[in-house]
Structure 1
Amino acid sequence: MKYDFHEIIDRSENNSLKYDELDSMFGRKDLYSLWVADMDFKVAPAIQKALEDKVKEGIYGYTSRPDSYYGSMVNWYNRRYNWNIDKDLVLHSPSVVSSLSLMVQEFTKPGDKIIIQPPVYYPFSNVVKNHGRKLVLNPLKEVDGKYYMDYEDLEEKIDENTKLLILCNPHNPVGRVWTKEELEKLGNICIKKGVKIVSDEIHGDLTLWGRRYTPLGSISEEFRKNTITCLSTSKTFNLAGVQASFIVVPDKEDFEKLDRVMGLYDVSRNNCFSLVAVEAALTHGEEWLEELLVYLGENIEFLIDYCKNHMPKIVPNKPEGTYLVWLDCSNLNMTTKELDDFMINKAKVALDSGFWFGREGKKYMRINVACSRELIKMALDSMKRAYDQL
């Protein structure tokens, strides 16, 4: 490989949430940190170079976005996914979660219903409940370790008060890369029932085993009009800390409404470093990404084989996308509290508790494999020592 993903990087002086907040999140610091979804890899050299050049300028004032900034995003999705995005209907946002919060605020009113599909990224439920909207659950169906949408349940739960569905495509944490046919079925139900879709597609570039990500808004003109899409380089290129994402808004009136409120909260400008990092990633980062996907696939295979051979009661799924693996721990016959205690205080690993993603995840854990394989092995060896004591 041209790029080195094997290196173990000491992030103890990195002001990293993933490492510095172990104590506050898990009650101890001496853990292998494989939880929150950022990578332990250095960014692509082209991104590093762009940031270094910006630092050398020595001036870090208010930014003005060049056409090439949105152009790099438009070209990326056109080239890789045959999705033609109108750059004049794209907004900057600090993060996907802040985008979701603003859209819940602007496109619904207190008491309106919003659907999510658990087990799913836990901020989805938070932004709904924190704005005083009614959360409606359309749980995924699990069949032999693979998850599917429950369309019959969805149709039954939509009524005249249902205004939004928040989709996760690809899905975090179960790793499904929804097929075009699955998305068409979902999209047609929502159009028929008058429900707008807000689609979090932040993991779209991280597909594995030949799976292909389909942007929901790219399927048809009807779908384009009914879908607001949240995109970012933060997962693909490990840029969460630069605070930059995109909102693709198909309707001019909706665009102006969001643009107004983002201006009101003064979150509509990039910082000077996110501007160059994002453009460099989308313009020059493709080769690095392709090698990353190979390494992530190998890490996932290593994890699956290790559990099968040494901890058979812990069963990882094989995700079609993302660098997050959903661990089925139901055969350990532990309560949620017991499972958390086992992982933290006995196995000495920091993982995301499946219960965070909804009650459907209470027998699961989510592990992040976007790190050196050696680090994964050390964490798994620590888990095995605890497992052998059961």
Structure 2
Amino acid sequence: MMKKLALIAATVGTTLGIFLGSALSQEPLRPMSSEELSECCQIDLLGWDELIWGIPDRPDLGAGGDRQALLAAIDNSLQYLDSQKAVEDYQKYDAVEGITRDRVRRSLERFRELLLAASGPSGLQAAVRREFIWYRSVGYDGRGTVAFTGYFEPTYAASRVPTEEYRYPLYGLPPDLADWPKPHPTRSDLEGEDGTGRNSPLKGSEIVWLRDRLESFLVHIQGSARLQLADGTVMTVNYVGNTDYSYTSIGTELVKDGKMRLEDVTLPSLIEYFQQHPAELNDYLPRNSRFIFFQETDGSPAMGFIKVPVTPERSIATDKSLMPPGALAAIYTQIPYANQRGELEERWASRYVLDHDAGGAITGPGRVDIFMGTGSIAGDRAGIMNATGQLYYLLLKE
């Protein structure tokens, strides 16, 4: 999706600002010996992925868990690794010695075989421990601590034509964007003070209109959306480009201005704040000068930076200048799940994931964004996710 992620990453941003220097002074990934893993990490939990076979209180996964979804995510990575884009990406990738496109591909092929042969989490965990080297991210502090957030594909009402109700446009990619002089126009320059773009230099390149300004902004943040049109059809849009500005978190801005407490910043709390103070949208949204352009994708699923579909809880976004694209990884962090009362609560979990995506707010070795899926439930889960944990890349032993 190549999104500007982490609308709510005020806490993450503060932490990273303190520690990022130490992390950048070393390679982003370090191979761990079995002894080191046993001494430093949750060795009994790493690679224990019960979600593959199903969790009793996750009926949405069915009796068989999400093994087919994980296999599809692996196949998407393998498809990417056979592409010319992957050849070019890995010609430029030199962040970690010994990690090559061929090794990443062979690692995925072997993991796929092990996944198909395994009958439960313990067997898969043992096989992966036996055959793979675990490369641990140094994290944002140089000691392996990684900040995790979640993102999702929202579903909103929209119209292909502007009306009194649908006033907030999403724009297609300007054909001459590469020739724009820098600094680029800001968000205010492009969409106007009220977000409707009445006098926008982009006028004529609108592809769809939304009825809520914050929803339009959130599509910019997430990088894709499914849009329900009045005639009952569904339109899908995905990131295709952006202006040359760094991402600014409006959560961070609200905290700086004393409007919210750091620990209270979540996506639901931000939505509630602007519902109660709609006039402040004109102040805060333009502070994120970075502007996203979209293309219609004809019903296709949300796509990651490496041009493959992203898979719920199996695709992650990382800094692609540091992490190997398309590679197999394992995470250990807290992920929100619904309890038996229907309330979301965070639980520690180990998951095998694929590195499919990137984002303007996802920088450094200590940041990961997990794709949580499509729609309101995925949005609720992504909106409260803000945890620390560990990130490992899994490469076959040579």
User: TM exceeds 0.5?
Assistant: no
TM-score by structure 2 length? 0.25
Higher relative contact order (CA 8 A, sep 6+): 2
